[in-house]
Amino acid sequence: MTGEAEAVGPPAAEYDEYGFVVPAGALGREIVRYKQQFQPKAERRVTRWERFRRADPSLSNRRRLKRLVRKGIPDSFRKEIWAHCLGSQRLRDANPNKFESLLREPLSDETLSQIELDLTRTFPNNKLYKYEDGVAKLRRVLRAFAVHNVRVNYCQSLNFIAAVLLLFMDEELAFWTLAQVVSSEEGAKGLHIDGYYVEGMDQLRADLRALERIVQRKFPNAYASLRREGVELEWVCQEWFHTLFSTVLPIQTTLRVWDCLFLEGHKILFRVALAIFKENELRISKFQSLEEVMVSMREISSHQVDHNSLLKAAFKGIGRLKRAQIRREQAYGERMVAEENAAAQARRERHNQAHPPPPAKPQLPALDNPGHGEAGGSGEESPVGAAVREAARRLESVIDSCYDSILGDGDDDVDVSPVDGEPPAARLPGSIPALSPDSVFSYLGVSVSSMLQPSNSSDATRSSVNVHRGDNALATSPAK
Amino acid sequence: MGCSVSKPEDTFGPASAQVRISQGVGSNAPASSALGSTGAERASLESKVVLLGDSGVGKSSLALRFCQGRFSPYHEVTIGAAFLQQIVRLKDGSQLKLHIWDTGGQERFRAMAPLYYRDAWGAVIVYDCSHAPTWESVKFWVGELQAKGRPNCCMAIAANKCDTQDWQVDSKEAREYCESNDFIFVECSAKTGENVGRLFELLANKVYQQMLKGDPR
């Protein structure tokens, strides 16, 4: 611990055990102090984990695993346990040459240059990514992922997630783990958050709406304070969810959050976000200006040094938070996003009618669905808009009926994911393999493949937003 | 909703770009220092300004240069949007506090952009004059703002990285486009600091006049 010496200049920086520059000033001192204070606990945990691993090499006692994970995985076990929880080790073993072969596949110039652009802008405060060696690893993981997950390809935020994984894992395992974090190809494991990273980001927007409703209910004073100053919750929380907190919390706290997230799934994002509100409720309730909210919320998240107390708040402090409740709020969020998309589309169309676009502008393709094919020039709603809205309406009813039928598992503490990845398809909403947009729409009886073709058109892209959303929504419905 | 507008004491004089930056408030400064101790000491006017443009054109760097007077070659990728602020003192002594929203640039983040620009009084649309495709996106953002932004949102087009040896965008075309649309056009460099102050000053000036006229909505 260095006091004043840290502030001298970037080259003389002190690094923590994960290669991050220890922040200058009071925050850095607090991190170092907390680490020392936590040390005895950390050592006890290592002993407990060693005993557990010896007694249960296949990690079959899930209850015990969960209890230990919630108290934090020691650094020396993280790689193995993360890979186990997400099923990425199994994927790697099953696909021995996949990573290398993905790296030989071509990628578009656009993707390559975006990845290149972001490599040097990913945790520039971490030692590993100051040197070409670490940057090259990150490049390969992101490129392989972009080939592998066609729908997501590359999206900013994945660079940060991959970079944290690489602090613990070799490239190949980090790649499979990233693949599992984003979607799920192995049993019931994985977070199923593809929709955070695809065009439109509908799932992210819907989740933020859901979070907003829960914050409003659980912390009415804090919420009222934000609204009073005209702050949208999304302004504050978008980055929290998108980078899985990795750019907003101190690294030690991020890792604790990820331990639970990778084992217990997506709802942990909600629990941790709510815990941040819980831990700072009084302060947040007293904000008096927009700038105070924005500056202080940033400061609050970066000061969550006491990871133990944050995690305690996430599981005990915020009270009950049932999966079913989150699902209900997500459904609400999805409806709001669909409405927003439709309104934006309509607004853009009105604008385009008033100011005809220049000829270079890409045109919307016609639908091959004869009923909607020719809208003439006068219609207020484009055929694509109508089809998407119709699809959204049908999806809504599918979602609603699904919720009623599958969400019997209200109890939050019930383990629903199996340890070995045998998919308990009928029980767990998250376990259904994602359907392709085509199958979703054939199920819905809407013909959309033609309208998706020219994906470089901004209008067509906008229209495809609901298609992706539909894909997600159905991915959480039970297998018929 | 994002900006609270209190009535200015003085009327604004003849249009003038001669404004002076009085005081910077960094995004990392304690929130309390951003506020005067009494309401009267606060900037009389606040205004939301949003930075838009392709990934890597230098939006964050422009904001950082303007608000904190520094440049970092390796600024972290912006996810969502970052909030910064700076007070601009206008010639007649009134102050305009700019709330600057620096947005994420990857095309995919465009879905989130309305969250940040929809109630903005001003927008800086940034392109990289050493990278031609980024100029094309300028027109996209102009269209977005006209369709979904605040009516009469003041726009400034910034040709960043003007210190480059490798010009790929013809400034003449950009300038003509801006003149015909009544947008501010400034060639600037966040790296050297050239014209960065001027960019925001011109915009603050225009926004101020717009605010005096009142919201057309």
Residue ranges of the alpha helices (H) in B42-117? 59-68, 113-117
**If you measure CA to CA, which chain B residue comes closest to A348?**
B147
Amino acid at residue number A427? R
Shortest Cα distance from A299 to chain B (angstroms)? 8
Q: Residue A40: inside a domain, yes or no? A: yes
Considering the domain architecture, whether residues A101 and A151 belong to the same structural domain is answered as yes
Instruction: Report pLDDT for B217.
Output: 54
Q: Which domain range does residue A308 map to? A: 202-344
Q: For the whole prediction, is pTM greater than 0.80?
A: no
Side-chain-side CA neighbours of B161 within 13 Å: the count stands at 21
Q: What is the pLDDT of residue A394?
A: 54
Angstroms from A361 CA to nearest CA on chain B: 10
CA of A234, closest CA in chain B: separation in Å?
8
pLDDT tens, N- to C-terminus, chain B (217 residues):
333 333 333 333 333 333 333 333 333 333 333 333 334 344 468 999 999 999 999 999 999 999 999 999 889 999 999 999 999 988 777 899 999 999 999 999 998 999 999 999 999 999 999 999 999 999 999 999 999 999 989 999 999 999 999 999 999 999 999 999 999 999 999 999 999 999 999 999 999 999 988 766 5
Q: Could you tell me how many CB contacts below 8 A there are between chain A and chain B?
A: 116
More confident residue, B214 or A72: A72
Specify whether A78 is located in the same domain as A57. Answer: yes
- Option in B75, B80, B148 nearest A121 (CB): B75
Chain segment A105-118, per-residue pLDDT in tens? 999 999 999 999 99
Q: Are residues A249 and A181 in the same domain?
A: no
In a shared domain, residues A160 and A248? no
Query: Under CATH, to which class is B17-213 assigned?
Result: alpha beta
pLDDT value at A285 more than 80: yes
Q: State pLDDT tens for residues B146-202.
A: 999 999 899 999 999 999 999 999 999 999 999 999 999 999 999 999 999 999 999
B112 and A118: CB-CB below 8 Å? Answer: no
**A422 and A440 assigned to the same domain:** yes
DSSP string, A402-464: HHHHHTT---TTS--S-SS----TTT-GGGSPPPPHHHHHHHHT---HHHHS-TTSHHHHHHH
The total number of structural domains in chain A stands at 3
Checking if the pLDDT of A467 tops 70, the result is no
A156 and B140 in contact by Cβ < 8 A?
no
User: Average pLDDT in the A53-77 region?
Assistant: 95
In terms of CA atoms, which chain A residue is nearest residue B102?
A235
Mean pLDDT, chain A, rounded, equals 80
Q: What is the pLDDT of residue B128?
A: 97
Burial of residue A245, with CB atoms counted within 10 A of its CB: 0-12 exposed, 13-18 middle, 19 or more buried: buried
Q: How far is C-alpha B75 from the geometric centre of its chain's CA atoms?
A: 18
Residues A276 and A328 in one domain: yes
- Give a yes or no: residue A243 inside a domain: yes
Torsion (CA) A402, A406, A411, A417 in degrees, nearest 10:
-110
Q: How are beta strands B81-89 and B95-103 bridged, if at all?
A: antiparallel
**Coil, strand or helix at A44:** helix
Separation CA A102–CA A263 (nearest Å) = 27
Query: Do A148 and A247 belong to one domain?
Result: no
A351/B83 CB distance under 8 A: no
Q: Helices A62-70 and A25-55 sit at what angle, rounded to 10 degrees?
A: 160
- Whether A65 and A182 share a structural domain: yes
Contact across the interface for A298 and B1, Cβ inside 8 Å:
no
Residue A228 forms part of a structural domain? yes
Judge whether A85 lies within some domain: yes
Q: Among residues A322, A344, A366, which one ends one of the domains? A: A344
Torsion of CA A195, A200, A203, A207, to 10 degrees: 140
Whether residues A418 and A326 share a domain: the answer is no
Asked, for residue A374, whether it belongs to a domain, the answer is: no
% chain A with pLDDT above 70: 71
Tell me if B146 and A355 make a contact (CB, 8 A cut-off): yes
Which one of A324, A344, A364 terminates a domain? A344
In this complex, which of A156, A202, A290 lies closest to B79 when CB atoms are compared? A156
The CA distances from residue B214 to A116, B1, B49, B217, in Å, are 45, 14, 16, 9
Residue range A312-354, pLDDT digits in tens: 999 999 999 999 999 999 999 999 999 999 998 888 888 888 8
The alpha-carbon gap from B187 to the nearest alpha carbon of chain A, in Å, equals 22
What is the value of ipTM here, to two decimals?
0.81
Interchain CB distance below 8 Å, A155 and B114: no
- For the residues A200-214, what does the mean pLDDT come to? 97
d(C-alpha A451, C-alpha A38), whole Å:
56
**Other C-beta atoms lying within 10 Å of the C-beta of residue A390:** 15
Stretch A439-445: mean pLDDT, rounded?
44
Residue A395: pLDDT above 80? no
Do residue B112 and residue A238 have CB atoms under 8 angstroms apart? yes
Query: What is the structure's pLDDT at A435?
Result: 44
Domain residue spans in chain B?
17-213
Answer yes or no: do B147 and A458 touch at CB < 8 A.
no
- The 10s digit of each residue's pLDDT in A232-279 is 999 999 999 999 999 999 999 999 999 999 999 999 999 999 999 999
**Chain B partners within 8 Å of A351 (Cβ):** 143, 146-148
| CATH of residue A325 | 1.10.472.80
Are residues A264 and A391 part of one domain? no
Residue in B4, B31, B111 closest to A295 by CB: B31
Whether residue A413 has pLDDT greater than 60: no
Residues of B with CB under 8 A from a CB of A: 1-4, 25, 27-32, 34-35, 46, 55-56, 74-77, 79-81, 83, 85, 99, 104, 106, 108-112, 114-116, 140, 143, 146-148
What pLDDT does residue B113 have?
Answer: 94
Do residues A221 and A175 both lie within one domain? no
DSSP B13: -
Closest residue of chain A to B86, computed from CA coordinates: A291
What pLDDT is stored for residue B10 in this prediction? 32
Which residues on B lie below 8 Å from A355 (Cβ)?
146
Q: Which of A201, A294, A348 sits opposite B147 (nearest CB)?
A: A348
Residue A65 to chain B, least CA–CA distance (Å): 33
Per-residue tokens: A356? 């005809």
What backbone torsions phi and psi does residue B45 show, to the nearest 5 degrees?
Answer: -135, 145
A252 and A305: one domain?
Answer: yes
Judge whether residue A377 has pLDDT over 50. no
Q: Which of A150, A167, A196 marks a domain boundary?
A: A196
Within a domain: residue A284? yes
- Chain B, nearest residue to A234 by Cα: B115
Angle at CA A122, nearest 5°, toward A119 and A124?
A: 110
Condensed to tens digits (0 to 9), the pLDDT of residues A147-186 reads 999 999 999 999 999 999 999 999 999 999 999 999 887 7
